Amino acid sequence: MKTKTICFLNNKGGCGKTTTCCNVGYALAEQGYKVLLIDADMQMNLTLSYFPEETVLALAMGDKNIYDVIKNKGTIQEKISSTAYPNVDLIASSSLMSGIEYELLTRWQREYILKNAMQELVKSEHYDYILIDSPPTLGGWVMNILCAADYLLIPVEASPWGLFGIANLFEFLEASKQIAPQLQVLGVVVTKADERKAYLKQTLEALKDLESTYVFKNYIHVDSAIEWAQEASKPVLVHKKNSRSAAEYLALAKEMAIRCQ
Protein backbone atom coordinates (compact mmCIF):
# COMPACT_ATOMS: atom_id res chain seq x y z
CA MET A 1 0.00 0.00 0.00
CA LYS A 2 1.20 3.49 -0.86
CA THR A 3 2.13 5.50 2.23
CA LYS A 4 -0.51 8.07 3.19
CA THR A 5 0.54 11.08 5.22
CA ILE A 6 -2.11 12.77 7.33
CA CYS A 7 -1.57 15.87 9.46
CA PHE A 8 -3.74 16.93 12.39
CA LEU A 9 -4.09 20.69 12.42
CA ASN A 10 -6.07 23.47 14.01
CA ASN A 11 -4.50 26.68 15.22
CA LYS A 12 -6.93 26.65 18.13
CA GLY A 13 -5.08 25.25 21.12
CA GLY A 14 -6.37 22.31 23.13
CA CYS A 15 -8.95 21.09 20.58
CA GLY A 16 -7.67 17.50 20.63
CA LYS A 17 -5.07 17.35 17.83
CA THR A 18 -2.55 15.34 19.84
CA THR A 19 -5.09 13.07 21.54
CA THR A 20 -6.72 12.26 18.20
CA CYS A 21 -3.37 11.67 16.46
CA CYS A 22 -2.13 9.41 19.29
CA ASN A 23 -5.24 7.25 19.46
CA VAL A 24 -6.19 7.11 15.80
CA GLY A 25 -2.58 6.10 15.14
CA TYR A 26 -2.82 3.24 17.61
CA ALA A 27 -6.27 2.24 16.30
CA LEU A 28 -4.91 2.03 12.73
CA ALA A 29 -2.04 -0.13 13.99
CA GLU A 30 -4.52 -2.40 15.74
CA GLN A 31 -6.27 -2.84 12.41
CA GLY A 32 -3.02 -4.18 10.97
CA TYR A 33 -1.58 -1.04 9.39
CA LYS A 34 2.03 -0.01 9.94
CA VAL A 35 2.04 3.48 11.44
CA LEU A 36 4.65 6.18 11.98
CA LEU A 37 3.72 9.09 14.23
CA ILE A 38 5.66 12.34 13.87
CA ASP A 39 5.52 14.78 16.74
CA ALA A 40 5.97 18.18 15.09
CA ASP A 41 5.04 20.24 18.15
CA MET A 42 7.69 21.45 20.59
CA GLN A 43 5.23 20.83 23.46
CA MET A 44 6.15 17.16 22.86
CA ASN A 45 2.70 15.95 23.93
CA LEU A 46 2.51 13.22 21.29
CA THR A 47 5.91 11.91 22.41
CA LEU A 48 4.65 12.01 26.01
CA SER A 49 1.61 9.97 24.93
CA TYR A 50 3.91 7.02 24.18
CA PHE A 51 6.98 7.46 26.38
CA PRO A 52 7.60 8.33 30.04
CA GLU A 53 8.93 11.78 30.88
CA GLU A 54 12.61 10.75 31.34
CA THR A 55 12.66 9.19 27.87
CA VAL A 56 10.95 12.24 26.37
CA LEU A 57 13.53 14.59 27.91
CA ALA A 58 16.37 12.41 26.66
CA LEU A 59 14.87 12.42 23.14
CA ALA A 60 14.46 16.21 23.23
CA MET A 61 18.04 16.83 24.30
CA GLY A 62 19.56 14.05 22.18
CA ASP A 63 19.77 13.69 18.42
CA LYS A 64 16.80 11.41 17.77
CA ASN A 65 14.14 13.98 17.04
CA ILE A 66 12.52 15.85 14.13
CA TYR A 67 14.39 19.08 14.89
CA ASP A 68 17.70 17.39 14.07
CA VAL A 69 16.34 16.48 10.64
CA ILE A 70 15.41 20.11 9.99
CA LYS A 71 18.92 21.12 11.00
CA ASN A 72 20.28 18.63 8.43
CA LYS A 73 21.82 16.42 11.10
CA GLY A 74 20.97 13.02 9.68
CA THR A 75 18.13 11.33 7.86
CA ILE A 76 14.57 11.02 9.04
CA GLN A 77 14.96 7.21 9.11
CA GLU A 78 17.67 7.59 11.77
CA LYS A 79 15.28 9.52 14.02
CA ILE A 80 12.63 6.80 14.33
CA SER A 81 12.05 5.37 17.81
CA SER A 82 10.21 2.09 18.38
CA THR A 83 7.30 2.29 20.82
CA ALA A 84 6.05 -0.52 23.07
CA TYR A 85 3.75 -1.57 20.20
CA PRO A 86 5.04 -3.43 17.15
CA ASN A 87 3.09 -1.54 14.48
CA VAL A 88 3.64 1.95 15.90
CA ASP A 89 6.88 3.90 15.54
CA LEU A 90 7.40 7.51 16.51
CA ILE A 91 9.68 10.42 15.73
CA ALA A 92 9.97 12.65 18.78
CA SER A 93 9.82 16.40 18.79
CA SER A 94 12.16 18.63 20.74
CA SER A 95 11.46 21.38 23.22
CA LEU A 96 14.52 23.12 21.70
CA MET A 97 12.49 23.94 18.55
CA SER A 98 11.34 27.34 19.80
CA GLY A 99 13.46 29.28 17.28
CA ILE A 100 12.37 27.28 14.25
CA GLU A 101 10.39 30.09 12.60
CA TYR A 102 13.51 32.31 12.53
CA GLU A 103 15.73 29.44 11.44
CA LEU A 104 13.50 28.68 8.46
CA LEU A 105 13.76 32.26 7.19
CA THR A 106 17.32 31.81 5.95
CA ARG A 107 16.73 28.46 4.21
CA TRP A 108 16.22 27.77 0.54
CA GLN A 109 12.86 26.22 -0.34
CA ARG A 110 11.94 26.75 3.29
CA GLU A 111 8.43 25.33 2.95
CA TYR A 112 9.66 21.99 1.59
CA ILE A 113 12.32 20.99 4.13
CA LEU A 114 10.14 18.40 5.87
CA LYS A 115 8.68 17.10 2.59
CA ASN A 116 12.16 16.66 1.10
CA ALA A 117 13.40 14.96 4.26
CA MET A 118 10.47 12.50 4.11
CA GLN A 119 10.75 11.72 0.41
CA GLU A 120 12.83 8.51 0.63
CA LEU A 121 10.81 7.18 3.55
CA VAL A 122 7.51 7.76 1.77
CA LYS A 123 8.87 6.23 -1.44
CA SER A 124 9.94 3.08 0.43
CA GLU A 125 6.26 2.45 1.39
CA HIS A 126 7.50 0.97 4.65
CA TYR A 127 4.60 2.60 6.52
CA ASP A 128 0.93 2.53 5.55
CA TYR A 129 0.23 5.74 7.44
CA ILE A 130 2.39 8.60 8.62
CA LEU A 131 0.48 10.84 11.05
CA ILE A 132 1.85 14.29 11.91
CA ASP A 133 0.76 16.16 15.03
CA SER A 134 0.97 19.94 14.48
CA PRO A 135 1.44 22.81 16.92
CA PRO A 136 -1.42 25.31 17.49
CA THR A 137 0.09 27.89 15.12
CA LEU A 138 -0.07 28.85 11.44
CA GLY A 139 3.45 29.78 10.40
CA GLY A 140 6.32 28.59 8.27
CA TRP A 141 6.76 25.34 10.18
CA VAL A 142 3.08 24.45 9.81
CA MET A 143 3.44 25.24 6.09
CA ASN A 144 6.20 22.60 6.01
CA ILE A 145 3.76 20.11 7.54
CA LEU A 146 1.05 20.98 5.00
CA CYS A 147 3.52 20.56 2.13
CA ALA A 148 4.59 17.15 3.46
CA ALA A 149 1.05 15.79 3.93
CA ASP A 150 -1.45 14.23 1.54
CA TYR A 151 -4.39 14.80 3.86
CA LEU A 152 -5.43 17.16 6.62
CA LEU A 153 -7.70 16.35 9.51
CA ILE A 154 -9.13 19.17 11.63
CA PRO A 155 -10.18 18.35 15.20
CA VAL A 156 -12.79 20.78 16.52
CA GLU A 157 -13.74 20.95 20.17
CA ALA A 158 -17.48 20.97 20.90
CA SER A 159 -17.25 24.05 23.10
CA PRO A 160 -18.59 27.63 22.96
CA TRP A 161 -15.36 28.88 21.32
CA GLY A 162 -14.53 25.70 19.44
CA LEU A 163 -15.40 27.14 16.05
CA PHE A 164 -14.21 30.69 16.68
CA GLY A 165 -11.42 31.39 14.21
CA ILE A 166 -12.08 28.38 11.98
CA ALA A 167 -12.73 30.77 9.06
CA ASN A 168 -9.14 32.03 9.44
CA LEU A 169 -7.88 28.47 9.30
CA PHE A 170 -9.76 27.85 6.06
CA GLU A 171 -8.41 31.13 4.61
CA PHE A 172 -4.89 30.01 5.49
CA LEU A 173 -5.52 26.64 3.86
CA GLU A 174 -6.87 28.30 0.73
CA ALA A 175 -3.76 30.47 0.46
CA SER A 176 -1.48 27.48 1.14
CA LYS A 177 -2.86 25.69 -1.95
CA GLN A 178 -0.33 27.67 -3.99
CA ILE A 179 2.55 25.79 -2.42
CA ALA A 180 0.77 22.65 -1.18
CA PRO A 181 -1.60 21.85 -4.08
CA GLN A 182 -1.63 18.10 -3.25
CA LEU A 183 -3.24 18.58 0.16
CA GLN A 184 -6.80 17.34 0.60
CA VAL A 185 -8.95 18.15 3.61
CA LEU A 186 -10.06 14.76 4.89
CA GLY A 187 -12.56 16.36 7.24
CA VAL A 188 -13.45 17.80 10.60
CA VAL A 189 -13.63 15.61 13.70
CA VAL A 190 -15.67 16.79 16.67
CA THR A 191 -13.89 16.16 19.97
CA LYS A 192 -14.76 16.45 23.67
CA ALA A 193 -18.46 16.07 22.88
CA ASP A 194 -20.82 16.15 25.85
CA GLU A 195 -24.44 15.19 25.15
CA ARG A 196 -25.62 17.09 28.24
CA LYS A 197 -24.38 20.40 26.86
CA ALA A 198 -26.28 22.46 24.29
CA TYR A 199 -23.17 23.48 22.38
CA LEU A 200 -22.56 19.98 21.01
CA LYS A 201 -25.73 20.44 18.96
CA GLN A 202 -24.72 24.02 18.12
CA THR A 203 -21.28 22.87 16.96
CA LEU A 204 -22.75 20.14 14.76
CA GLU A 205 -25.25 22.64 13.30
CA ALA A 206 -22.57 25.26 12.66
CA LEU A 207 -20.35 22.68 10.94
CA LYS A 208 -23.08 22.18 8.34
CA ASP A 209 -22.19 25.68 7.06
CA LEU A 210 -18.75 24.45 6.01
CA GLU A 211 -20.38 23.27 2.81
CA SER A 212 -17.53 21.52 1.04
CA THR A 213 -15.93 20.07 4.17
CA TYR A 214 -16.71 16.55 5.33
CA VAL A 215 -17.67 16.14 8.99
CA PHE A 216 -16.79 12.70 10.35
CA LYS A 217 -19.80 10.66 11.44
CA ASN A 218 -17.84 9.33 14.39
CA TYR A 219 -17.04 11.88 17.02
CA ILE A 220 -15.23 11.65 20.33
CA HIS A 221 -17.01 12.23 23.63
CA VAL A 222 -15.47 13.63 26.78
CA ASP A 223 -13.94 10.69 28.61
CA SER A 224 -11.82 10.81 31.74
CA ALA A 225 -10.11 7.56 30.62
CA ILE A 226 -8.23 9.69 28.09
CA GLU A 227 -6.51 11.74 30.77
CA TRP A 228 -5.64 8.65 32.81
CA ALA A 229 -4.18 7.06 29.71
CA GLN A 230 -2.10 10.18 29.00
CA GLU A 231 -0.78 10.15 32.54
CA ALA A 232 0.31 6.54 31.99
CA SER A 233 1.88 7.45 28.58
CA LYS A 234 -0.38 4.96 26.82
CA PRO A 235 -3.06 5.19 24.14
CA VAL A 236 -6.52 4.89 25.68
CA LEU A 237 -7.04 1.75 23.58
CA VAL A 238 -4.30 0.11 25.64
CA HIS A 239 -4.93 1.73 29.00
CA LYS A 240 -8.69 1.17 29.03
CA LYS A 241 -9.67 -1.02 26.13
CA ASN A 242 -13.35 -1.16 27.09
CA SER A 243 -13.79 2.62 27.48
CA ARG A 244 -16.20 4.59 25.33
CA SER A 245 -13.43 6.66 23.75
CA ALA A 246 -11.40 3.55 22.82
CA ALA A 247 -14.36 2.29 20.78
CA GLU A 248 -14.85 5.75 19.29
CA TYR A 249 -11.22 6.06 18.15
CA LEU A 250 -11.41 2.63 16.54
CA ALA A 251 -14.55 3.64 14.64
CA LEU A 252 -13.01 6.97 13.64
CA ALA A 253 -9.85 5.25 12.38
CA LYS A 254 -11.98 2.95 10.22
CA GLU A 255 -13.89 5.91 8.80
CA MET A 256 -10.60 7.68 8.11
CA ALA A 257 -9.06 4.71 6.35
CA ILE A 258 -12.11 4.49 4.07
CA ARG A 259 -11.91 8.22 3.26
CA CYS A 260 -8.22 7.90 2.38
CA GLN A 261 -8.85 5.23 -0.26
Sites of contact with ligand ATP (CB under 6 A): 13-19, 41, 43, 45, 136, 191-192, 220, 222-223, 226-227, 230, 245
Closer to Mg ion by CB, 122 or 252: give it. 252
DSSP string computed for the chain: ---EEEEE--SSTTSSHHHHHHHHHHHHHHTT--EEEEE--TT-HHHHHHS-HHHHHHHHHSS-BHHHHHTTSS-SGGG-EE-SSTTEEEEB--GGGGGHHHHHHTSTTGGGHHHHHHHHHHHHT--SEEEEEPPS--SHHHHHHHHH-SEEEEEEESSTTTTTTHHHHHHHHHHHTTT-TT-EEEEEEEESB-TTSHHHHHHHHHHTTSTTS-B-S---B--HHHHHHHHTTS-HHHHTTTSHHHHHHHHHHHHHHHHT-
Residue 72 CB, nearest approach to ligand ATP (Å): 26
Closer to ligand ATP by CB, 223 or 255: give it. 223
Q: Given the rule CB under 5 A, which residues bind Mg ion?
A: 17-18, 45
Closer to ligand ATP by CB, 118 or 158: give it. 158
Residue 106 CB, nearest approach to ligand ATP (Å): 27
Residue whose beta carbon is closest to Mg ion: 18
Residue 190 CB, nearest approach to ligand ATP (Å): 10
Closer to Mg ion by CB, 112 or 228: give it. 228
Residue 127 CB, nearest approach to ligand ATP (Å): 22
